[in-house]
Amino acid sequence: MRVATTIFELRNSLGELLTPIGLVPTMGYLHEGHLSLVSAAMNDCASVVVSIFLNPTQFSPEEDLSTYPRNMERDLEKLDKIGVDLVWTPTPDDMYPTNYQTWVKVERLTQPLEGKYRPGHFSGVTTVVTKLFNAVRPHKAYFGQKDAQQVIVIRQMVKDLNMDVDIQTCPTVRDPDGLAMSSRNTYLNRGQRRAAPILFTALQAARVVYDGGERSAIKLRLLIHKIISSEPLANIQYISCADADTLEEIQDKINGRALLSLAVFFGSTRLIDNVLIGD
């Protein structure tokens, strides 16, 4: 496994790779969710590149950049073991040198949900993903359904900007009790960790009710709210039932695909999760 830091090293190493190339962009502290993306890439592509970059521009000043977990040594071991061809570990100075001033912005899809509560987040995401795509020039790139809005925003960007990358979405990987894997789960204390699976429990309950014929978005949101509110350690930021394409909140009946999504605090740890329902 090659490891490149500067973009110069990256481009040198890329020349030796067989095509098609699959890219798995990560912020490090890799868990089974990340590794499932790598496996999918290895199944589809002749070479797999993983980027590890804790992207500062997708964190707002009051967010958890400084405490975000990292363990580069363990990450590289995991990727080497699984058979990744090339890991790119740029530094913040490689990615955002002095006088950096260019941003890629997706307008409407970034307004609701995560965009509403994390202003500037998606501008950081779309900009860094553009940079990763331009540097690696992958044929396919792999993202987790866990960050549902992120995938939708990136697909829109790829289409709008004529990027020649095939975006693949992989299912959310969960712990046995249903908690979606996330690097941020490491922040949870024992009680919070025991409580956190309530998120998926609530989403699943809504899906069951939907499958039973319920089409009222309001009732599904209420049901999720009721279940999560029953957990004293959970502090709801938002619960959404939105059109899965436009991300506009559904006011009345669900027609077609809907995204049930939420952000909930356990102490100062903010967790997100989602399920897709409908056709």
Q: Which residues are catalytic?
A: 34
CB 204, CB 275: distance < 8 Å: yes
- Nearer to its own copies by Cβ, of 130 and 169: the residue is 130
- Nearer to its own copies by Cβ, of 134 and 268: the residue is 134
Query: Is residue 212 classed exposed, middle or buried when 0-12, 13-18 and 19+ CB atoms within 10 A define those classes?
Result: exposed
Task: Give min distance, CB of 156 to its own copies, in A.
Answer: 6
- Nearer to its own copies by Cβ, of 106 and 244: the residue is 106
Contacts for 210-214: CB closer than 8 Å, 24+ residues apart: 210/254, 210/277, 210/278, 211/277
Residue 105 interacts with its own copies (CB under 8 A)? yes
**How far is the C-alpha of 203 from the C-alpha of 207, rounded, in Å?**
6
Binds its own copies by CB under 8 A, chosen from 19, 91, 161, 218: 161
- Quick one: which segment of 22-30, 74-82, 156-164, 268-276 binds its own copies (CB under 8 A)? 156-164
- Quick one: which segment of 25-33, 160-168, 228-236, 264-272 binds its own copies (CB under 8 A)? 160-168
Residue 143: strand pairing partners: 169
**How far is the C-alpha of 225 from the C-alpha of 236, rounded, in Å?**
8
Tell me the three state secondary structure of residue 202: helix
Determine the size of the site formed for its own copies (CB under 8 A): 27
Residue 17 interacts with its own copies (CB under 8 A)? no
Residue 15 interacts with its own copies (CB under 8 A)? no
Residue 8 interacts with its own copies (CB under 8 A)? no
**How far is the C-alpha of 256 from the C-alpha of 239, rounded, in Å?**
19
Task: Give min distance, CB of 126 to its own copies, in A.
Answer: 8
Pairing of strands 86-88, 234-243: unpaired
Task: Give min distance, CB of 114 to its own copies, in A.
Answer: 16
Whether residue 90 has a cis bond before it, omega within 30° of 0: no
Residue identified by tokens 């699943």 is 204
Residue 151 interacts with its own copies (CB under 8 A)? no
Residue 98 interacts with its own copies (CB under 8 A)? no
**How far is the C-alpha of 246 from the C-alpha of 257, rounded, in Å?**
10
* DSSP string of 215-252, one letter each residue: -BHHHHHHHHHHHHHTSTTEEEEEEEEEETTT-PBP-S
**How far is the C-alpha of 190 from the C-alpha of 212, rounded, in Å?**
35
- Nearer to its own copies by Cβ, of 126 and 269: the residue is 126
- Nearer to its own copies by Cβ, of 136 and 181: the residue is 136
- Quick one: which segment of 24-32, 99-107, 172-180, 229-237 binds its own copies (CB under 8 A)? 99-107
Task: Give min distance, CB of 53 to its own copies, in A.
Answer: 12
Binds its own copies by CB under 8 A, chosen from 160, 189, 218, 255: 160
Residue 82 interacts with its own copies (CB under 8 A)? no
Tell me the three state secondary structure of residue 118: coil
Give the interface with its own copies as residue ranges (CB under 8 A): 7, 11, 99-109, 126-127, 130-131, 134-135, 137, 156-157, 160-164
